[in-house]
Amino acid sequence: MRKSLTAGIALASVTGAALWFVSIAGAQGGGTIEADVKYNGAPVVEKLKVNKDTEKCGTEAVIEKVVVGGNKGLAYAVVSVPGAKGATKTKAVIDQKGCKFVPHVVAMQPGEIEIKNSDDILHNIHTYSTANSSINKAQPKFKKTMTEKLDKPEVVKFTCDVHSWMLGWVAVTPGPAAVTDTNGVAKVENVPAGKHKVEVWHETLGKQEKEVEVKAGQVTKVSFEMKGK
């Protein structure tokens, strides 16, 4: 220990402060969890005729409840590590575009979320939650962004009172989290080394959890198979 510290100081004095900083960050020992979420069932997509704001919304709303991509990968599942503290906060953003919430599912740490309106028409954000207070606010076309607070961990349902088909989900998680892509893969970064519980949540297929062991600087893979209800 003493030997490596001395070597570190010697190295830092030669190559400068930037490298020293890197070696300290590495010593904290974060790893990555790569979750592979699969679903063996059929995709569920509902279609609805639209006769309002059709110049922005189109004439058909597509409500994607279960999105299954290549290799049975399940999209829009939230993978989180609730017990891991000190997750890096990135700014959460959800947009209303084409009368849809984009992305359909957002994962964020407790804090602020920026709600955008890219549509040039009136939307009315209406959220459903228990721990956080409900948001029910008109967002006229000139109001391009609103910032709201979601500071308690839970999954918050986003709807719009103007366009009844609009549906989005914001998962406020206490630890680091990520949403699966169209291949059903989510990479959760900066997870401290050690044993952790990994949770997967999907809006219609429910929850699952598994234990994993994360090692510093390494990628730990874990797979889930969600069951239909």
100 counts as binding Cu ion under rule CB under 5 A: no
| DSSP per-residue string spanning 61-84 | EEEEEE-B-GGGBBPS-EEE-TT-
Question: Measured from the CB atom, is 123 or 202 closer to Cu ion?
Answer: 123
| Identity of the residue numbered 229 | K
143 vs 77, 79, 121, 161, CA distance in Å? 30, 32, 10, 16
The Cα–Cα gap between 112 and 115 comes to: 10
The Cα–Cα gap between 60 and 128 comes to: 25
With residue 31 as reference, give the H or E element that holds it: strand 30-39
Radius of gyration of the chain (CA): 21
The Cα–Cα gap between 172 and 152 comes to: 7
Considering CB under 5 A, how many residues would be counted as binding Cu ion? 5
Q: For the CB of residue 160, give the shortest distance to Cu ion in the complex, in Å.
A: 3
162 counts as binding Cu ion under rule CB under 5 A: yes
Question: Measured from the CB atom, is 58 or 111 closer to Cu ion?
Answer: 58
- 117-156 mask for Cu ion (x: CB under 5 A)? ------x---------------------------------
Q: For the CB of residue 71, give the shortest distance to Cu ion in the complex, in Å.
A: 34
Q: For the CB of residue 111, give the shortest distance to Cu ion in the complex, in Å.
A: 24
Question: Measured from the CB atom, is 52 or 227 closer to Cu ion?
Answer: 52
Give the residue, chosen from 100, 163, 196, 202, that forms a contact with Cu ion under the rule CB under 5 A.
163
160 counts as binding Cu ion under rule CB under 5 A: yes
Applying CB under 5 A, the span of 14-22, 42-50, 144-152, 159-167 interacting with Cu ion comes to 159-167
Question: Measured from the CB atom, is 57 or 108 closer to Cu ion?
Answer: 57
Q: Are 199 and 80 in contact (CB under 8 A)?
A: yes
Which one, of 92, 97, 218, 219, lies nearest residue 156 by Cα? 92
Q: For the CB of residue 109, give the shortest distance to Cu ion in the complex, in Å.
A: 26
Q: Which residues bind Cu ion (CB under 5 A)?
A: 123, 160, 162-163, 166
